[in-house]
Amino acid sequence: MGHVPVMAVEVMELLDPRAGQLLVDLTVGAGGHARCFLEATAPTGRVLAADRDSEALSLAECNLADLSSRVSFQQGDSVSVLNDLIRRGLSPDGILMDLGVSSMQLDDEERGFSLREDGPLDMRMDSSQKTTAADIVNRMRPDRLETLLREEGDEHRCRVIVAAIVERRKLRKFRTTGDLRVVIEGALRSKGGRVHPATKTFQALRIATNTELSLIRDSLPLAVQCLAPSGRLAVISFHSGEDRIVKHVFRDLAKQGLGSVVTAKPVSADRAEVRSNRRSRSARLRAFAKGAQA
C-alpha cells in the first residue's frame, strides 16, 4: 500500500493497543493507521473506519480488504459518527482523529484542494454538501473574508489578498483553483518560493468550506464521553489553530475530572520520518486518557 500514515509508531504507542480492543478511526483516509491497529491487536482487535469523504472510505475499504472481517465502515463527519456511537451504546477503547487534508485529496485536481494543479474551486470533503470554496470566495463579505484568512489561515497579508479578490469578482466569478492562484500571485507579486504565496489562503478556504475547526471543538468532548473507561483519544493536527483547540479542550476535560492529558507537549515526527514523508513535518500529536486510571 502506497499510503504512509503519519507518526504511526507514536500513535500506536499512545493508543496502547491490545488484543480484543475496538478502535474508532474517525478520519480513516487510506487506512494506514487502521491497519497498524489491526496488526497490533490481531487476531481479535476491531476497527470502525469512518470518514466524511466517500472516496477515502472506498479506498480504505479496498486497502483493508485482507482484514475485512475485523473492520466496519461508516460515512459521516466526526460529530455525527460519535453521536451515533453514543446512541448505540458503543464504547471504543481508542479513538483516532487525523485532521486536515490527505495526500490523496491533494493529488486529485478535480477535488480543488491543490493550488498547484488547476481544477474546480471546490474543496469539499463531503461532496454531498452544498457550499464550495468558490461559493465562499464569490459571495462572502470582504470584512468576513479578511477575518477568515487571518484567523483560519494565519495570513497576515489578508487585506491585500481580499482587495484583489473583490476587484476580480466584480468582473467575473472565480471558478477554478487557477483563477484564485493567479489573483493571489498578482496581489502579492510572487509566484513561488519554498512556500507558495497562496498556501495560507487555500488552507483557510478548505477549513471554512468543511467547518473543520468547529467540528474539532464539538468532537473532542463527545469522543471522551464515548470512550470506555481508561480508553484513549489521539489527535494529529497539521495547523496551529487545530492544535490550539486540541490543547485547550484537553486541558478543560482534565479540569472537569474526565481524565488526563497524556502528552504534556505535542509529539512531532522524527527527522527520519520528515525526510521520507513530507506531510509529517507540520504534524502534532496529542493524546488524552479517560478516567481515574489515566
**44: CATH:** 3.40.50.150
Cell triple for 111: 477535488
Domain CATH for 173? 1.10.150.170
Q: What is the pTM of this model?
A: 0.90
What does the alpha-carbon distance between residue 64 and residue 1 come to, in Å, rounded to a whole number? 10
Kindly state whether residues 135 and 254 are assigned to the same domain.
no
Confidence of residue 143 (pLDDT cuts 50, 70, 90): very high
Residue 97, pLDDT above cutoff 80: yes
Q: Is residue 111 part of a domain?
A: no
Write a three-state SS string for 162-179: HHHHHHHHHHCCCCEHHH
The structural domain count of the chain equals 2
pLDDT tens readout for residues 220-229: 999 999 999 9
pLDDT tens readout for residues 162-190: 999 999 999 999 999 999 999 999 999 88
Q: Is residue 142 part of a domain?
A: yes
Residue 194, pLDDT above cutoff 80: no
Express as a percent the part of the chain with pLDDT over 70.
93
What does the alpha-carbon distance between residue 9 and residue 11 come to, in Å, rounded to a whole number? 6
Residue 24 contacts residue 50 (beta carbons within 8 Å): yes
Residue 194: which domain range? 127-209
Domain boundary, last residue among 209, 233, 258? 209
Domain boundary, last residue among 209, 234, 266? 209
Return the SS3 of 54: helix
Confidence of residue 78 (pLDDT cuts 50, 70, 90): very high
Kindly state whether residues 90 and 73 are assigned to the same domain.
yes
Domain boundary, last residue among 209, 236, 258? 209
Closest CA to 209 of 143, 283, 147, 121: 121
